[in-house]
Each structure stands twice: as structure tokens, then as C-alpha cells.
């Protein structure tokens, strides 16, 4: 085979696979709209198969050509309305497409593969003797090249559903390549200027060139990253098929709703997230969804829903898998964990349901009473969690018994380059990924005694009325610590928060992540290493691994004790964000209900359908003015103002506040008589002035009575540590709001 | 396991083996030169907490992060002292570069395969598992290292006593 031929074949395979990737989804859509025939879609699939057939014939790939030919015939009948796209016909088509794909995956040997069974099945459809059982039964497990498939779970290993082979080539828009080329050109010019400046010892020129190179490097980095970005929809499409096959096989009805297919992620992450997601979706299907009869009994529609959503969030991507099934019973989880001796009965009784949920991430845990074909083989959520952690992401779970379960995954956009904070411990430097840092707290020596406490050998920090478990980095790594605790990095891993004590903070640095060698694979406190600007190597801390090492996340450790402590503490005091609306009146909101604060200008406020909204990261944030809901003096006209962003029932809302004063720790005991009204939970007296406490959930309900019913919304201050997330940068001193826009 | 594990190569077919030799304590030892990427002065090493005892840490080798191993500790001898003569030998094993710290670089020796004797049970008190044979060079023995075997044993906590 000549070189040119080989190139042609590679191109043919890439293109054909791209065609087929869409075909699967389209076939499923055709099935969904049956008995009406969506001729447009059938045509699209037909065209894809047709072009594969043509090219295969030209390249001498008989098997592919033959199979495509018969597929084409069947599709032709379908578009001429001579064949109904019933599930048996679609099944045969899907399996033939699968076969076609596996032939393409091994194109060199494709001519030797036996495809006669598929062709026979397609023929019987062609001759309109589409017997319901015939073609299907003939096909079971008959793929010419073994391929794990959901519907063949009986024969194959679990967890390996339809994983497409890692593609060795990707499509990149030409304009991106052009951009890269011109940046490479600028880089060369920059280097030449740099060499000249060094030769001439021209310091001023050096500075200019340095700045220019900095700019070019950044653009280059961004452009390369963009060229690696792939829509997550590439992974999502295959789940329609997974859910369809599972439904057919296990007699449950389930609809998969997919949102946010356009969200883009680094190619490496898109490829690696497929398996964990498959596992989670199968779990939701198997453990979450009830049978149609059970669902009817509990007053739910017979058909369950799994909702798969991807959104951009805080410089990363968030994927949620939401089912409306039975939910997870904390009691059962605990019982199972005790039965498997993962925890003791005492630990179980001291554990909150939320902590109990985390038990399912422990190795060797499985809740299914009966081990089914689908899941319950002991390789479960712990593998999912490890795989996601390897991608630098976190996974969390939330459940409502009887209503459903939500799995929440957060992923970084890219693996290769990340922003980090370089910290010191002893003389060593370590990098911490910025996306896991919530804030940095500096503790004055004078305050150390009052803010840091020791409870049962565990250090805790008093932070805005909460107790934050502390971990000394030196202790974890077995290197000496500084004597005084001055700098605490508040780390957020999923729902877990802890303070990492370091000796000092150096600088923020963009680092290129390098893997550690095979001899260091057991060092679970590090995710990799990076070469810093000074040429030295710094290890990148695995904040999850450190929490595990310090036994923060494990139920065996101190988590139970912390919960109780935090709870007691919360009764005593809470921290509130103080702000003004009119000129004199003062208001407060509990700081733990505030997600973040944005600074905006008045002209950024839009009016849509009589409601004020703010365009923020491509979605509209509804804005509330206090005076519309409670007795308050109207807000004066002002050019700049703040938006206090809070979340109720998963929806973000913004409260307009012209002036923000400070964050204060106040007693939780408030006067609930004098100024009580809907939207105001009570008042306190601070510095001789009355401050009214705004009840955010009620306010949200008043703003949109359909959406937010406060009775079903769990108020954030009922939850003990560690769910609360006020996102202020060192709010002890001052509040530095994030600025919207650039 | 008594068979030597050299991969087939033209040199081997000719019956000749090129060995980069160096000293670890008193021991004279050699590595098949095809594995050696470079030999250089010891550079700054970043220690890695929780690493196996023979791993000194990681170094920046032209932008790549490379694991640095103390060959003295690994062979069960005393740790390498970082003197002016100490060197790091970067070897490529299983596609991954690894730095080996040695006391002193000796020479490059060409030996005929048939002149390599099977390894003795004990070699100056270090673990014989890591050698694929010995060669009588003038008055002393040159121990030929089995790199793959040796580097696979890095994580073993038991290690040579």
C-alpha cells in the first residue's frame, strides 16, 4: 500500500467516524419520533452512510462497502416510507452502525471480518420481512470484532460501554491555525530582538522585549488551548444510546435530557470523562430509578428522567447528573458501611446523613441489595472519584429520599496549564491549584491564641463564626513547621473545607503541569510537579490527597466531632454582611448565604419584562431592590453599586446594595418582634444603630412565588460546617468585591 | 531468575557490550550504554516527601521533571555523598528518564558477552538481584546492572538490608 493510499485511508477513517458519531444520535431521534418518519433526519443518516460507502468502494474496503450498501438500502426504504422505524428496525440499524464503526477502528483487517450476519439482518429488513425477533436474535454478540456494548453486558466486562478509541487527530478551524502561525512568527521576532538586546546590553529594550514576549506567550498559550477544546457534547451523545439500551433491557422507562453540549473542555478531559460519566449514569439508572410500577405507586410519572447538564462555572466546568428516582437513604448507607466494617456502629450513629452519603465513595462500598448485571460489583464510586480527581476535578452527591439524587462534578478546563499559588513550608516550595483555594487568611500573632483552638488534638480556626479544621502542611509531609501559625490557605475540595497551614505565600504563578515518574506514584499528596520561573521544581499539592492523609474526609477521623463543634459554635454567633440601601437605614444578610459580591455600574442593569437583570457570564442574573419587597427607603440614584449574589433552590439571584459596609460577627439571637415582616427575619442593634436582617429565601419567593417556596428551601444557616461558602477574599479586613466585566 | 536480561541488538549480535562504568562506594558497576542519556554534575534536587527512601527527589532536566535516585541507597550501600566528583547518570528505562546518583564516573568499557560471568550470590554486601552478571576487569570485578530489575524494585519497602 502506497503512502498516499495510507493517508487517504486515515482521512477516510477520521471522516467516517465523525459522520457515524452523529448518526447514532440521529437514529435514536428517528426512533423517538416514530411512527411519524422524520425524512430530513433519515436523509442525513443516508448521506453519511452513502459517502462512507462510496469512499470505501474506491479504497477497496469491501466489507465496509457492503455493509454500508445494505444500510443504505434500508434507510432508503425508510425515507420512502416503506419501512417503519420501529425499535426493532432501529436496533438493527444501530448495531450495523456499531459494526461499521468497529470495522473502521481496525480498517486494515476490515476485509477479513465477517459481516454476513449484519448484512442478513439488514436484508431481511429490506425484503420487509422485518420479523420482530429474527434480526435481533441473530445479532446478539455477533460483532466481528469484540466490542463492549451495554446491551451485551452479559458477555462483556462492565464499565466499558462503547468507549470510542482515542482519536489521534482532531479538526481545528483554519483561522485558529493561522493565528498560531502568526503568533509563532511574533515569537521568532521576539527572540531575535531579545538576542540583540542581550548582545547590546540594552536594559530598556530588554524590558520592552520581555513584556512583548510575555504577551505573545500568553496569546500562544490561549490559542493552543483553544485548538484543543472540544465540545463535551461529543461524550454526551453516546449516553442516549446507553440509556436506551438499558431501558430496553431492564424494563425501566427513562428519558435522558441533555443540556449544555456546547460547553468546551480540553480534549484530554473530554476523552477521560466518558467512563466515569457512563458509570454514574448507569448508577443513576440502576440504583436511582425505580420500576414503572413503583414510580406510579409513589405518584411519579412512570417514565423516569435523568438530566445531564454541563455549565461553565468559576473558570471550570460543572457537570451534573440529576435523576428523579428514589434517592439514597442515609440510614441504609450507614448500615451497609457498618456491615462491610468500613465504619463502626458508634461512628454511624454520630454521623449526619450528609456525611453518610460520602461513605459511598469509600473503596469496597456497594448499596445494591442484589448484585445486578449493571452495577454492584465493588468497583464503584471510589473508582469514579479517583478518576475524576486525577483530572483535577471533584465529585459530590446530594440526595432527597423519594425525590432523587444529584451528582455534581467540577472539572478544570485544561490539564496542561493551570494557575497556582506557590507556598512555602520549611525551605520548600509547593504549588496549590488556584481553583481549590477559597481564600488566604493571615492571623496576627496577637489574635492567634483567640482564633486557633485545639479540640481533641485537632487544630481548628475560628473563621467568621465557623470552626475550620486545620492541617499543618509540614506535619502531612513530614517536614518541620514554623513555630507560629500565620498563614492559613482555606482549601475547598468538593463540599469539604479545611485550612492548610503554610509557612508563607510566595506568589501566584501559571504553571505547566508535569507528571511525576513511576517511582513516585504512591505519593498521594502530589498531583505532579512544575518547573517554576526560577528553574526549580515545585511539587503540586493534591488538596484532596492531603485531606485524606490528614483523615479529614474519612469518617474514621474527626469529621463527626467537627460537626458537633461547629454546630454548637453556630448557636452562639453568626457572621453577617452589613450594607445600606437608602441613606440611613442599615441591613444585614447572613454571610454564609452570600455566594459572592459583584461591583457593577448602574448602566449595566437591564430591564427585561419589567424585571431588572444583570448579564453575567452569558446568563441573566435577576436583580432585586429591597424597597420593592419590604418597608425601606428607596435606593438613591447612584452610578456604582454592588450586587450581593445568593442562591436559592439552585438559582442565583442578586440583591442590589448601593453601599457595603463590612462583615461582622454578631450573636445569632435576634429581636424577632420589632421589625418582623415578610422578607425581614428580625433585627439587631449594632453600634447603637438598628440593623434589619434580610431573609433572602423569603425575598426570593416574593420575587418569584412560583419558583421559590421558602418552606421547601433549606435555609443555609441550618446546615453545619462545611457547606457554607462565603466567597470573600480575606473578609476580616475588608471586602474586596469581584468586578464584573473587564 | 538467573538469566541475563539484555535486549537483542546489533551490538549484542556482535557479542560486544558497551558499558558506562562508575563507582558506588567501593563497588565498580556498569550500565549498558544504550540506556544512558547523559552524565552530568549533580544539580539542585527538590525532595519529595513520602517517596521511597532511595528516591532523593526530582530535578528539572531541560524542562522535564525527572526522578533522581541514590544508587548507593538502592543497592544497599551507604548514601552517595555529594562531592565535586559525584555525578548523575540519566538513563532511559521503559520510556521514562531517571537520574541515578553515583560517587564517581569511571570509564566506558567494551566487553565481550561471553566473558561476562553469571552473577555471584553476594557482591560486596549488596543485593545480587540487581545485577545480570560480573566481568573480571584487571584486578577487580565489574558488576553489570540490570536496570529494569533494579528500577522496578525502587518502591519495595523491604529493600536490601
| Cross-chain residue pair B96–A524, CB shorter than 8 Å | no
In angstroms, the first-to-last Cα distance of chain A is: 56
Asked if B44's CB is within 8 angstroms of A516's CB, the reply is no
Nearest by CB to residue B60, choosing from A519, A520, A531, is A531
| Local confidence band at A3 (pLDDT 50, 70, 90 cut-offs) | low
% of residues, chain A, pLDDT over 70? 83
- pLDDT for position A167: 57
Residue A567 has pLDDT above 70, yes or no: no
Residues of chain A with C-beta less than 8 angstroms from the C-beta of B47: 428
Residue of A323, A322, A235 lying closest to A273 (CA atoms): A235
* Whether residue A739 has pLDDT greater than 60: no
Count how many pairs of residues, chain A against chain B, have C-beta atoms within 8 Å: 70
In this structure, how many other beta carbons lie within 10 angstroms of the beta carbon of residue A665?
Answer: 14
Backbone angles phi, psi at A691, to 5 degrees: -120, 125
Alpha helices, H only, A266-380: 267-283, 292-297, 330-339, 345-350, 353-358
- pLDDT greater at residue A341 or residue A422: A422
DSSP at B159:
-
On whether ipTM exceeds 0.95, the answer is: no
Question: What is the layout of strands, in order, in the sheet containing B64-70?
Answer: B36-41, B87-93, B96-102, B64-70, B55-61
Highest mean pLDDT among A185-189, A413-417, A508-512, B2-6: A185-189
Between B141 and A4, residue with greater pLDDT = B141
Residues of B in contact with A477 (CB under 8 A): 49-50
Choose between A376 and A582: higher pLDDT.
A582
Residue A633, classed as helix, strand or coil, is coil
**Which of B49, B60, B67 faces A519 most closely, judged by CB atoms?**
B67
Residue A555 in this model has a pLDDT that exceeds 70: no
What is residue A307's predicted lDDT score, i.e. its pLDDT? 92
Strand A458-463 to A452-455 pairing: antiparallel
Contact A519, B52 (CB under 8 A): yes
Confidence at residue A568, expressed as pLDDT on a 0 to 100 scale: 36
- Quote helix, strand, coil % in chain A, to nearest 5: 40, 25, 30
Residue indicated by cell numbers 466567597: A727
For B66, nearest residue in chain A (alpha carbons): A517
From CA A540, how far away is CA A434, in angstroms rounded? 11
Do B144 and B30 contact (CB within 8 A), yes or no?
A: yes
Average pLDDT over residues A506-521: 85
pLDDT in tens, A59-68: 888 888 888 8
Share of chain A above pLDDT 90, in %: 7
Does the pLDDT at position A688 exceed 80? Answer: no
Residues of A in contact with B46 (CB under 8 A): 428, 529, 536-539
Confidence class for position A156, pLDDT limits 50, 70, 90: very low
Q: Name the pLDDT band for B122 (thresholds 50, 70, 90).
A: low
- Is A428 in Cβ contact with B46 (below 8 Å)? yes
- Residue A421: pLDDT band (50, 70, 90) is very high
B46–A537 C-beta distance less than 8 A: yes
Q: Which of A46-50, A437-441, A446-450 has the lowest mean pLDDT?
A: A446-450
Instruction: Output the pLDDT for position A576.
Output: 84
CA distance B112 to chain A (A): 33
Mean pLDDT of chain A: 77
Asked if residue B160 has pLDDT above 60, the reply is no
Tell me which H or E stretch contains A221: helix A203-228
Asked if the model's pLDDT at residue A705 lies above 80, the reply is no
* pLDDT confidence tier of residue A721, bands split at 50, 70 and 90: very low
DSSP 3-state of A248: helix
Question: Using beta carbons and an 8 Å cutoff, which residues of B are at the interface with A?
Answer: 44, 46-52, 55, 57-60, 63-67, 69, 94, 96, 98, 151, 154-155
Cα A437 to Cα A676: distance, rounded to the nearest angstrom: 38
pLDDT at A706: 57
Please classify residue A713 by burial: count the beta carbons closer than 10 Å to its beta carbon, then call 0-12 exposed, 13-18 middle and 19+ buried. middle
Q: What is the pLDDT of residue A353?
A: 76
Distance CA A212, CA B64 (A): 26
In this predicted structure, the answer to whether residue A559 has a pLDDT above a threshold of 50 is no
Q: pLDDT tens, A639-651? A: 888 888 888 777 8
Q: Mutation test of the interface with chain A: which of B56, B60, B68, choosing the one with the most A Cβ atoms within 10 A?
A: B60
Nearest CA in chain B to A536: B60
> How much of chain B exceeds pLDDT 70, in percent?
83
Per the CB < 8 Å rule, is A520 touching B49?
A: no
Q: pLDDT for A461-497, tens place per residue?
A: 888 877 888 999 988 888 887 778 888 999 988 778 8
Grid coordinates in use for A631? 418597608
Cell of B134: 560480573
pLDDT: which is higher, A601 or A563:
A601
Residue from B37, B45, B50 to probe the interface with A (highest A Cβ count within 10 Å): B50
Q: What is the pLDDT of residue B124?
A: 64
Tell me what pLDDT residue A617 has: 63
DSSP A166: P
When CB atoms are compared, the residue of B50, B60, B69 closest to A525 is B50
Distance CA A16, CA A55 (A): 9
- Among left, alpha and beta (phi > 0; psi -120 to 50; other), residue A260 is left
Q: Give yes or no for a contact between A350 and A447, defined as CB atoms under 8 angstroms apart.
A: no
Closest by Cα among A118, A44, A98, A74 to A242: A98
Q: Rounded to an integer, what distance in angstroms lies between the CA atom of residue A151 and that of residue A137?
A: 12
Q: Is the pLDDT of residue B146 over 60?
A: yes
- Alpha-carbon distance of A680 to A602, in angstroms, equals 26
A197 to each of A214, A414, A533, how far by Cα in Å?
16, 35, 21
> DSSP letter at A182?
H
Q: Quick check: A713 pLDDT over 50?
A: no
- Is residue A370 pLDDT above 70, yes or no? no
Contact B28, B141 (CB under 8 A): yes
pLDDT for B70 beyond 80: yes
- Asked if residue B104 has pLDDT above 80, the reply is yes
Cα A214 to Cα A97, A176, A183, A219, A221, distances in angstroms: 49, 20, 12, 9, 11
Q: Do A519 and B66 touch (CB under 8 A)?
A: no
What would the DSSP string read from start to end of B19-75?
EEEEEETTEEEEEEGGGEEEEEE----B--TT--TTEEEEEEETTEEEEEEEHHHHT
Each residue's pLDDT tens digit, A274-321: 888 888 888 888 878 888 888 888 888 888 889 999 988 766 788 999
> What is the arithmetic mean of pLDDT over B60-83?
88
Which cell is A225 given?
488551548
Helix axes A62-79, A39-59, angle to 10 degrees: 160
- What residues in B contact A526, CB-CB < 8 Å? 48
Q: pLDDT at residue A718 above 60?
A: no
Q: Which of A426, A473, A474, A517 has the highest number of chain B CBs within 10 A, making it the mutation to test binding with B?
A: A517
Q: Is the pLDDT of residue A325 over 50?
A: yes
pLDDT in tens, A603-641: 888 888 778 888 776 678 888 888 888 888 888 888 888
pLDDT at B11 over 50: no
Decide the pairing of beta strands B96-102 and B55-61: unpaired
List residues in chain A touching B: CB distance below 8 A. 428, 476-479, 514-520, 522-526, 528-531, 535-539
Minimum CA–CA partner of B156 in chain A: A519
pLDDT in the model for residue A109: 78
Closest residue in B to A517 (Cα) is B67
Tell me the three state secondary structure of residue B12.
helix
Cβ contacts of B48 on chain A, cutoff 8 Å:
516, 520, 523, 526, 539
CA distance B93 to chain A (A): 11
Give tens-digit pLDDT for A97-115. 888 888 888 877 778 877 7
- Cβ-defined contact of A517 to B98 (cutoff 8 Å): yes
Closest-CA distance of chain A to residue B33, Å: 22
The answer to whether the beta carbons of residues A435 and A315 sit under 8 Å apart is yes
Mark out the alpha helices in A601-720 (DSSP H runs). Answer: 696-703
List chain B residues with CB under 8 Å of A476: 49
- Find the mean pLDDT for residues A40-50: 85
Report the pLDDT value the prediction gives residue A168, as an integer from 0 to 100: 66
Is the distance from CB of A682 to CB of A630 less than 8 angstroms? Answer: no
Q: What is the mean pLDDT of chain B?
A: 81
The reply to whether residue B67 touches residue A539, judged by beta carbons under 8 angstroms, is no
Tell if the pTM clears 0.90, that is, is over it: no
Q: Is the pLDDT score of A128 beyond 80?
A: no
Distance CA A597, CA A615 (A): 15
Predicted local distance difference test score (pLDDT) of residue B101: 94
Amino acid at each position: 500500500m502506497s503512502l498516499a493510499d495510507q493517508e487517504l485511508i486515515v482521512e477516510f477513517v477520521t471522516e467516517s467516524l465523525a459522520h457515524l458519531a452523529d448518526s447514532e444520535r440521529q437514529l435514536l431521534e428517528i426512533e423517538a419520533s416514530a411512527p411519524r418518519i422524520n425524512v430530513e433526519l433519515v436523509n442525513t443518516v443516508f448521506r453519511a452512510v452513502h459517502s462512507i460507502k462510496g469512499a470505501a468502494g474506491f479504497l477497496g474496503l469491501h466489507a465496509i462497502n457492503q455493509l454500508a450498501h445494505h444500510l443504505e438500502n434500508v434507510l432508503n426504504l425508510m425515507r420512502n416510507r416503506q419501512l417503519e422505524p420501529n425499535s426493532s428496525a432501529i436496533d438493527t440499524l444501530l448495531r450495523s452502525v456499531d459494526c461499521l464503526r468497529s470495522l473502521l477502528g481496525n480498517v486494515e483487517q476490515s476485509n477479513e471480518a465477517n459481516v454476513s450476519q449484519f448484512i442478513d439482518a439488514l436484508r431481511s429488513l429490506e425484503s420487509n420481512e422485518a420479523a420482530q425477533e429474527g434480526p435481533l436474535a441473530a445479532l446478539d454478540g455477533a460483532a466481528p470484532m469484540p466490542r463492549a456494548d451495554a446491551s451485551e453486558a452479559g458477555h462483556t466486562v462492565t464499565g466499558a460501554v462503547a468507549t470510542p478509541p482515542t482519536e489521534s487527530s482532531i479538526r481545528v478551524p483554519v483561522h485558529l491555525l493561522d493565528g498560531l502561525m502568526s503568533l509563532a512568527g511574533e515569537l521568532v521576532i521576539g527572540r531575535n530582538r531579545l538576542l540583540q538586546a542581550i548582545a547590546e546590553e540594552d536594559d530598556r529594550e530588554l524590558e520592552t522585549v520581555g513584556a512583548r514576549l510575555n504577551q505573545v506567550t500568553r496569546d500562544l498559550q490561549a490559542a493552543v488551548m483553544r485548538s484543543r477544546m472540544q465540545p463535551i457534547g461529543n461524550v454526551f451523545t453516546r449516553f442516549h444510546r446507553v440509556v436506551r439500551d438499558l431501558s430496553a433491557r431492564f424494563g425501566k422507562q427513562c428519558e435522558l435530557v441533555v443540556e449544555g453540549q456546547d460547553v468546551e473542555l480540553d480534549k484530554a478531559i473530554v476523552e477521560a470523562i466518558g467512563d466515569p460519566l457512563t458509570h454514574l449514569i448507569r448508577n443513576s439508572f440502576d440504583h436511582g430509578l425505580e420500576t414503572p410500577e413503583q414510580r406510579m405507586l409513589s405518584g411519579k410519572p412512570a417514565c423516569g428522567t435523568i438530566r445531564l447538564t454541563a455549565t461553565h462555572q468559576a473558570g471550570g466546568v460543572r457537570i451534573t447528573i440529576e435523576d428523579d428516582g428514589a434517592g439514597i437513604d442515609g440510614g441504609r448507607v450507614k448500615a451497609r458501611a457498618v456491615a462491610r466494617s468500613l465504619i463502626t456502629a458508634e461512628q454511624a450513629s454520630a454521623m449526619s446523613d450528609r456525611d453518610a452519603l460520602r461513605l459511598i465513595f469509600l473503596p469496597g462500598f456497594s448499596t445494591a441489595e442484589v448484585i445486578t448485571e449493571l452495577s454492584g460489583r465493588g468497583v464503584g464510586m471510589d473508582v469514579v472519584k479517583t478518576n475524576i480527581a486525577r483530572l483535577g476535578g471533584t465529585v459530590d452527591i446530594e440526595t432527597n429520599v423519594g425525590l432523587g439524587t444529584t451528582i455534581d462534578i467540577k472539572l478544570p478546563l485544561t490539564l496542561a496549564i493551570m494557575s497556582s499559588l506557590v507556598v512555602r513550608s520549611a525551605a520548600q516550595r509547593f504549588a496549590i491549584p488556584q481553583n481549590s483555594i477559597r481564600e488566604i487568611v493571615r492571623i496576627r500573632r496577637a489574635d492567634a491564641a483567640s482564633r486557633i483552638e485545639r479540640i481533641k488534638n485537632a487544630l481548628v480556626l475560628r473563621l467568621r463564626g465557623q470552626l475550620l479544621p486545620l492541617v499543618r502542611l509540614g506535619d502531612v509531609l513530614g517536614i518541620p513547621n514554623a513555630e507560629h501559625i500565620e498563614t492559613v490557605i482555606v482549601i475547598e475540595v468538593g463540599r469539604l473545607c479545611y485550612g492548610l497551614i503554610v509557612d508563607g505565600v510566595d506568589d501566584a504563578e501559571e504553571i505547566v503541569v508535569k507528571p511525576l515518574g513511576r517511582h513516585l506514584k504512591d505519593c498521594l499528596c502530589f498531583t505532579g510537579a512544575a518547573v517554576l520561573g526560577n528553574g526549580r521544581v515545585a511539587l503540586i499539592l493534591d488538596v484532596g490527597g492531603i485531606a485524606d492523609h490528614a483523615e479529614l474526609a474519612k469518617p474514621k477521623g474527626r469529621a463527626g466531632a467537627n460537626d458537633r463543634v461547629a454546630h454548637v459554635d453556630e448557636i452562639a454567633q453568626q457572621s453577617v454582611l452589613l450594607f445600606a440601601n437608602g441613606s440611613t437605614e442599615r441591613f444585614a444578610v447572613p454571610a454564609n448565604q452570600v455566594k459572592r459580591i459583584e461591583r457593577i455600574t448602574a448602566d449595566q442593569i437591564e430591564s427585561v419584562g419589567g424585571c431588572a437583570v444583570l448579564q453575567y457570564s452569558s446568563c441573566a442574573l435577576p436583580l432585586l431592590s429591597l424597597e420593592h419587597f419590604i418597608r425601606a427607603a428607596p435606593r438613591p440614584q447612584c452610578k456604582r453599586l454592588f450586587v450581593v449574589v445568593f442562591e436559592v433552590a439552585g438559582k442565583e439571584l442578586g440583591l442590589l446594595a448601593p453601599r457595603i459596609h463590612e462583615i461582622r460577627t454578631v450573636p445569632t439571637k435576634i429581636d424577632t418582634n420589632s421589625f418582623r415582616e415578610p422578607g425581614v427575619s428580625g433585627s439587631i442593634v449594632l453600634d447603637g444603630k438598628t440593623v434589619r436582617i434580610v431573609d433572602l429565601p423569603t425575598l426570593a419567593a416574593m420575587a418569584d412565588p412560583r419558583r421559590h417556596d421558602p418552606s421547601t428551601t433549606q435555609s443555609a444557616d441550618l446546615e453545619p460546617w462545611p457547606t457554607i461558602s462565603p466567597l470573600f477574599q480575606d473578609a476580616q479586613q475588608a471586602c474586596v468585591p469581584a468586578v464584573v466585566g473587564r | 531468575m538467573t538469566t541475563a536480561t539484555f535486549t537483542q541488538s546489533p551490538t549484542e549480535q556482535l557479542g560486544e557490550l558497551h558499558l558506562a562504568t562508575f563507582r558506588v562506594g567501593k563497588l565498580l558497576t556498569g550500565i549498558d550504554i544504550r540506556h544512558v542519556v547523559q552524565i552530568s554534575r549533580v544539580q539542585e534536587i527538590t525532595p519529595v516527601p513520602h517517596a521511597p527512601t532511595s528516591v532523593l527527589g526530582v530535578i528539572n532536566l531541560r524542562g522535564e521533571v525527572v526522578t533522581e535516585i541514590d544508587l548507593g541507597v538502592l543497592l544497599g550501600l551507604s548514601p552517595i555523598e555529594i562531592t565535586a566528583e559525584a555525578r548523575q547518570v540519566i538513563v532511559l528505562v521503559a520510556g521514562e528518564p531517571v537520574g541515578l546518583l553515583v560517587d564517581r564516573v569511571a570509564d566506558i568499557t567494551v566487553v565481550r558477552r561471553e566473558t561476562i560471568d553469571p552473577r555471584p550470590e553476594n557482591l560486596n554486601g549488596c543485593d545480587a538481584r540487581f545485577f545480570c552478571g560480573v566481568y573480571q576487569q584487571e584486578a577487580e570485578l565489574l558488576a553489570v546492572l540490570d536496570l529494569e530489575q533494579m528500577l522496578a524494585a525502587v518502591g519495595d519497602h523491604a529493600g536490601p538490608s
